[in-house]
Structure 1
Amino acid sequence: MSTATFTSTPGYGQNLFDLLHYRQAVRVGDRVDISGQGGWNDDITFPESLEDEIVQAFDNVERTLATVGATWTDVIAVDSYHIPTADDSIGDEHTRVMAEQFRERMGDRAPIWTEIGVAALGAPGMRVEIRVTALVGQQD
């Protein structure tokens, strides 16, 4: 029987655990699920530009995956949550930067992806959140 190993990302993960009592990742066997990662720094503040926020969220996914022995190349599924633009669409900038980051971090490997527009996210000023599932060692 597999056991669940929960971890907190060093820095912001411990801050969020202390404040909100949740972990950033869980690994059961080869499967990894992570909590939604925002584009925050260790003090839970956000960059001014949307592109920088999305790139930081990808960096935070990478940091969190590393706590359980996984990488972006192990990722099989991505759910991303976005605050819509003024015209109520997710917007080209969100989608463009997400796709660029997939290509940069995963090469030819492509996950399944659901991009969801939402009215609000968990922190004031937050515009994107990324949650992934990975299978360690299952790259194609």
Structure 2
Amino acid sequence: MAHLQYSNGEGFGEQLSDHTHYSQAVRGWDLTTGAVPVDFGQQIDQAFANVEHILQHAGGKGWEQVYKVRCYFAPLDMADEHHLVRNLKTYCPNHRPILTAVGVEKLALENMKIEIEVVAHLGD
């Protein structure tokens, strides 16, 4: 799909892309160091900030253009949903994207508890 524009964050995102031959899926790591916060709330906060950064890096406006969100949780614990809701309200104050939450056994990196995948509309 050569007509699509792929993007990776600087630093760790570029290194991981080169090593694994894929464009960055935004996860709860620090974009420059690759560190994964231990605290679940901090992981969600970092994942949302990463999505904002990558969308803007790719030429978009950020979360305001996101209309679909898919979250992978390892494990899925809806007792922690307030972290997700807080970030959705912060990053999407003027709209409510559709959301799918999926529980998985494990994610790619050690101690990673959340991965967020979004679809954004870059048009009007």
Q: Does 1:69 align with 2:62?
A: no
Aligned residues: 121
Gaps of 5+ in 1: 25-34
More strand as a share of residues: 1
Per the alignment, residue 77 of structure 2 pairs with 90
For residues 69 and 8 of structure 1, the distance between their equivalents in structure 2, rounded to whole angstroms, comes to: 12
Per the alignment, residue 69 of structure 2 pairs with 78
Q: State the Cα RMSD in Å.
A: 1.5
For residues 20 and 76 of structure 1, the distance between their equivalents in structure 2, rounded to whole angstroms, comes to: 28
Secondary structure of the equivalent of 2:17? Answer: helix
Per the alignment, residue 58 of structure 1 pairs with 48
With normalisation by structure 2, the TM-score equals 0.90
For residues 15 and 40 of structure 1, the distance between their equivalents in structure 2, rounded to whole angstroms, comes to: 13
Q: Deviations over 1:42-81 (max 9, x none)?
A: 2222112110111000011111111222210000000000
Identity %: 30
More helix as a share of residues: 2
Gaps of 5+ in 2: none
Q: Does 1:129 align with 2:110?
A: no
With normalisation by structure 1, the TM-score equals 0.80
Per the alignment, residue 29 of structure 2 pairs with 40
